[in-house]
């Protein structure tokens, strides 16, 4: 019985995700679903990204959090249309659902957008289970989380098209074995595009922005 209920929820989610995907396609919008553990650096990477895209690309932002508008406030200075989703009034979900995104899309000026960034709720498991109609899922893994995380939480790495290895500026002090981490990522998803970055120093941002261009061109 319980399994049926879960199946029903996922089926309903996938139907709404398909509607989102249709609407995004109608407006030629590329949507990036940014996922990670809390604190990996999603918002920091978005700050760097929006800084670079300002005046060049018409982007929109959907910010997902259980509560607070803190991240949306950090991004407000870039002046891109932003919608905050808080999941607390709906039971404090640990992920964004397709219907939450559906509500946010209705509040965005879709005809004016080319690119949409969705910062998912910080969680290394649940967000990967939900199709929200995005063009691509992108996982941020920060070095302090440890080299073993792709093996322990494989679904998010399997579902993603790209992985941003963030906080590269800390590699030496942490003693991170980046080759081993890359090998773990390869084992879980051989097709995953891995981009080492640092939102602190700006390392890797050129490669990340080039990948975004490829995604928009349908070449990623």
Ligand X SMILES: Nc1nc2c(ncn2[C@@H]2O[C@H](COP(=O)(O)OP(=O)(O)O)[C@@H](O)[C@H]2O)c(=O)[nH]1
User: Site residues (CB under 5 A) for Mg ion?
Assistant: 42-43, 71
Question: Shortest Cβ distance from residue 195 to ligand X (Å)?
Answer: 12
Q: 60-98: string of b/e by CB count within 10 Å (b at 16+)?
A: bbbbbbbeeeebbeebeebebbbbbbbbeeeeebebbbb
Question: Which contiguous run of DSSP H or E holds residue 198?
Answer: none
Report CA torsion sign: 94, 98, 99, 102: positive
Burial profile 1-17: b = 16 or more Cβ within 10 angstroms, e = fewer: eeeeeeeeeeeebeebb
Contact residues for ligand X, defined by CB under 6 A: 36, 38-44, 71, 122, 166-167, 169-170, 198-200
Name the DSSP letter for residue 74. Answer: H
When the beta carbons of 94 and 110 are compared against ligand X, the nearer one is 94
| Residue 166 binds which of Mg ion, ligand X, none (CB < 5-8 A, kind-dependent) | ligand X
Nearer to Mg ion, 37 or 176 (CB): 37
Nearest residue to ligand X, scored by beta-carbon proximity: 41
Pick between residue 16 and residue 121 the one whose CB is nearest to ligand X. 121
Q: How far is the CB of 58 from ligand X (least distance, A)?
A: 23
- Min separation Cβ 15 and ligand X, Å: 29
Rounded CA separation 39/25 (Å)? 31
39 interacts with, out of Mg ion, ligand X, none, CB within 5 to 8 A per kind: ligand X
Closer Cβ to ligand X, 13 or 130, answer by number: 130
């Amino acid at each position: 019985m319980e399994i049926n209920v879960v199946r029903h929820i996922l089926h309903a989610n996938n139907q709404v995700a398909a509607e989102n995907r249709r609407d995004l396609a109608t407006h030629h919008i590329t949507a990036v679903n940014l996922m990670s553990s809390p604190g990996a650096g999603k918002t920091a990477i978005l700050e760097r990204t929006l800084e670079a895209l300002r005046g060049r690309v018409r982007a929109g932002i959907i910010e997902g959090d259980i509560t607070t508008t803190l991240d949306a406030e950090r991004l407000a200075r870039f002046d891109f249309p932003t919608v905050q989703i808080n999941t607390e009034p709906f039971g404090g979900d640990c992920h964004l659902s397709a219907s939450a995104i559906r509500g946010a899309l209705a509040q965005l000026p879709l005809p004016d957008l080319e690119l949409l960034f969705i910062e998912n709720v910080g969680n290394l498991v649940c967000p990967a289970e939900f199709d929200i109609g995005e063009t691509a899922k992108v996982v941020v893994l920060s070095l302090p989380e440890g080299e073993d995380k792709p093996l322990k939480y494989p679904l998010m790495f399997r579902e993603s098209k790209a992985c941003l290895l963030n906080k590269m500026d800390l590699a030496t002090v942490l003693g991170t074995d980046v080759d081993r981490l890359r090998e773990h990522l390869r084992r879980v998803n051989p097709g995953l595009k891995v981009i080492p970055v640092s939102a602190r120093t700006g390392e890797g941002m050129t490669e990340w922005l080039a990948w975004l261009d490829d995604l928009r061109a349908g070449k990623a």
